Amino acid sequence: MINSKKNKFIIAIAIQTAILFFIILFKLLILSGGEEVFLKIRPVDPRDPFRGDYITFQYDISRIKGSFFDSSEKIKYGDKIYIPLLKRKNYHVVTNRISKNKPDTGIFIKGAVNDIRQKGDSLDEVFVSYGCKF
């Protein structure tokens, strides 16, 4: 009876250790196969009555001018877009063309349209959210 409890405990620890090992291995494989991208950020320092003082960061590429989009492509909320990046000094910046189609070459970030601001018939600004999907 004691031996059975001990075996169950050892198996439970081994399963947890194996899960942690595979999570770490998966993240290392992503890091070894990708390229580091440095983006400029804009600090936002809001005050919230429930959370107090805190800081959040927004990427410069989270707000994209409408002129970067091809006028033939209709952009709407939730659309997946691809943002090609160019290296400038110590960080990456948005190129002048953003599309719904995945680029064949180069570094890019996949994002989703979060909000669209328009002036008249033309796109003024598009807000993009980013996330990692594996």
Q: pLDDT tens for residues 21-53?
A: 999 999 898 888 777 778 887 777 667 777 777
Global confidence as pTM: 0.60
Domain that holds residue 101: 41-130
Same domain? 18 vs 57: no
The phi, psi pair for 105, rounded to 5°, reads: -135, 170
Q: What is the pLDDT of residue 19?
A: 98
Q: How confident is the model at residue 132 (pLDDT cuts 50, 70, 90)?
A: very low
Pair (4, 50) in one structural domain? no
Contact 67, 91 (CB under 8 A): no
Same domain (yes/no): 22, 45: no
Number of domains present in the structure of the chain? 2
pLDDT, tens digit (0-9, with 9 covering 90-100), for 85-131: 888 888 777 777 888 888 888 888 888 887 777 665 555 556 566 65
